[in-house]
Amino acid sequence: MFRAIRPTSTLYRASALYKNAAVSSPARVSMAMNFARMYSAGAGLARSDVEKRVLDILAGFNKVDAKKISLKANFNADLGLDSLDTVEVVMAIEEEFSIEIPDKDADEIKSAEQAVEYISKRDDAH
């Protein structure tokens, strides 16, 4: 089966090196022929790290009683945050993890546990 080689591919560049043997050594050609880039997805963030960072964000808010902070605590009912405070929490989470949370998803985040679940599912969170 015949396969076309793109001019930008490593195989094309290696074959060009091979044709121009006066410039390249066989070892160089061999290295170029065996070269391959390996990309892998990051392992993601450990859930325990995400939990700690989210709880630290909540602890940093003056309006939140540190004794009441837990993963299960509801932002409004348990921590006494109003809707604007909740928006601030979500914005702080976005900044902490270098992500943007769409408004539709942000409206569903009402506890630290929900925030941790959401962030854990995101591949782009840092």
* Confidence at residue 86, expressed as pLDDT on a 0 to 100 scale: 94
Coil, helix or strand at residue 125: coil
Contacts of 81 (CB under 8 A, 6+ apart): 61, 63, 64, 75, 89
Q: Give the pLDDT confidence of 40-66 residue by residue, as tens digits.
A: 445 578 899 999 999 999 999 999 999
Query: Mean pLDDT, the chain, as a whole number?
Result: 79
| Residue 22 confidence (pLDDT) | 52
Q: How far is CA 59 from CA 55, 79, 96, in A?
A: 6, 11, 14
pLDDT score recorded for residue 125: 85
Tens digits of residue pLDDT in 61-80 = 999 999 999 999 999 999 99
Give me 30's structure tokens. 């061999």
pTM above 0.75, yes or no: no
Tell me, yes or no, if 123 is annotated catalytic. no
Phi and psi dihedrals of 74, rounded to 5? Answer: -75, 135
Give the highest mean pLDDT range of 1-15, 19-33, 85-99.
85-99
Q: Which of 56, 82, 107, 124 is catalytic?
A: 82
